[in-house]
Amino acid sequence: QVQLVESGGGLVQPGGSLRLSCAASRNIFSIDAGGWYRQAPGKQRELVAYLTSGGVTNYADSVKGRFTISRDNAKTAVYLQMNNLKPEDTAVYYCNVDLRTISTILGNYWGQGTQVTVSS
């Protein structure tokens, strides 16, 4: 079965940086488009950043200028570079991607989530 593996979360002080990654469990899979969502305790899930299949990026206003979504040139993984982190960025972050193989469109999949905690 298809699995997305997220990594890069952790505990960081305000002003620090983290880079999240999201990769398919098999290297025959590639990413057409992808996004990052986050959900804080007691809050609804929100879209943080999105990358279209054509490489166009979109960001929530709260993270513009601080976060960058990207995809490697082989389309094997999607990343979220997070700079100047704030306590309000604390949440579980989930990637969501459209996957394909060389011959088949597989569909839309979620990562397992990775915890980001920004605290002094």
The whole-number pLDDT of residue 3 equals 82
Whole-number pLDDT of residue 28: 86
Q: Higher model confidence: residue 76 or residue 26?
A: 76
Check: CB of residue 49 under 8 Å from CB of residue 35.
yes
**If pLDDT is split at 50, 70 and 90, which confidence band does 26 have?**
confident
pLDDT bucket at 74, cuts 50 / 70 / 90 = confident
End-to-end CA distance of the chain: 40
